[in-house]
Amino acid sequence: MLLIGLTGSIATGKSTVSSLLGAPPYGLPVIDADKLARQVVEPGTPAYKKIVAHFGKKTHDLLQDGPGSGLNRAALGRAIFGDDPEKKADRLVLNSIVHPAVRRAMYQALAAAYIKGYWAVVLDVPLLFESKLDVLCGTVLVVAVRDPEIQMARLRARDPHLSAEDAGNRVRSQGDVRDKARRAEARNAKDKDTLGVVLWNDGDKAELAAQIETAMAQIKAASPAWWHNALLLCPPLGLAVAAWTYWQNGRINARWAAEEQRAKANL
């Protein structure tokens, strides 16, 4: 089973791509990290209790309707988004609570997709590279925009309650999407151009859909049905391929880190 990592940044169109891949003609199962992140912090869960214990005293409107109710995501967002050192520290705390719970739910969903015999599954994670989940993926799709003003305009159109400062904080918290695009493209070798694919979404939905069609045709050609069937029928082979993918991606990431370090040293 091919694991397709889907990432981008806020308001670049990642959710649109996710919806298109989950619908015909592709019909792929989509494991959405954001949805899982909401599920694992529902009232009564271990993650919910840890969040309330840490943020409850400093964020007076953390709970929507008083003790035992759901989290006020807007209030939590104000507490963690921004360049202030305290907000950065709180963001790390929140990630340390939510990310492990999301990973557990994610692995359970992956196992279910494998058992059902899907040839590929989409792993939709905004911070795919940052959380190092890209090492699991045979292919990484990055949804990006070349013009940052388009990203800001889309975000404020989608969430009109956000001020320009709030919108900027949310965009910066997920890193520069153009850096993610470069990182995806750096995964490719001369004989393999489907390890990292960038979907540039500065245009309309029709243009984006056309790019997806082209990309998915190339990805499926590189992972033919006979290969998928062999992996499904021979689990040890599937495990060996997964280990190879993990090792290969580790090498790619090490090379990327070394190149970034050299680039910083030359500044």
- Three-state DSSP at 203 gives coil
* Full-model pTM: 0.85
What is the pLDDT confidence band of residue 163, given thresholds at 50, 70 and 90? confident
Query: CA 184 to CA 112: how far, in whole Å?
Result: 27
In a domain, 34, yes or no: no
| Domain match, 231 and 129 both | yes
What is the pLDDT confidence band of residue 3, given thresholds at 50, 70 and 90? very high
pLDDT over 70 at 267, yes or no: no
Backbone phi, psi, residue 133, to 5°: -80, -10
What is the pLDDT confidence band of residue 32, given thresholds at 50, 70 and 90? very high
Query: CA 114 to CA 44: how far, in whole Å?
Result: 30
Q: What is the pLDDT of residue 141?
A: 97
| Domain match, 202 and 223 both | yes
In a domain, 87, yes or no: yes
Amino acid at 253: N
User: Residue 67 carries which DSSP code?
Assistant: T
In a domain, 241, yes or no: yes
Q: What is the mean pLDDT of the chain?
A: 90
Instruction: For residues 39-43, give the mean pLDDT.
Output: 92
In a domain, 61, yes or no: yes
| Domain match, 103 and 189 both | no
Helix (H) and strand (E) counts for the chain?
11, 5
CATH code of the domain in which 174 resides: 3.40.50.300
Q: What domain range includes position 69? A: 41-117
Give the number of domains in the chain: 2
What would the pLDDT profile of 116-136 be if each residue is shown by its tens digit?
989 999 999 988 998 899 999
Write down which residue in 117, 149, 171 finishes a domain.
117
Structure-model confidence comparison of residues 164 and 142, the more confident one: 142
| Domain match, 17 and 60 both | no
| Domain match, 19 and 133 both | yes
In a domain, 266, yes or no: no
| Domain match, 211 and 240 both | yes
| Domain match, 240 and 181 both | yes
Query: CA 31 to CA 231: how far, in whole Å?
Result: 21
In a domain, 36, yes or no: no
In a domain, 1, yes or no: yes
Write down which residue in 68, 99, 117 finishes a domain.
117
Instruction: For residues 230-239, give the mean pLDDT.
Output: 88
Q: What count of Cα atoms within 13 Å lies in the side-chain half-sphere of residue 34?
A: 13
Which residue is it, tokens 């008083």? Answer: 66
pLDDT over 80 at 58, yes or no: yes
pLDDT over 90 at 78, yes or no: no
Q: What is the pLDDT of residue 266?
A: 79
| Domain match, 227 and 177 both | yes
| Domain match, 79 and 174 both | no
Q: What is the pLDDT of residue 118?
A: 92
| Domain match, 88 and 138 both | no
| Domain match, 205 and 79 both | no
| Domain match, 54 and 1 both | no
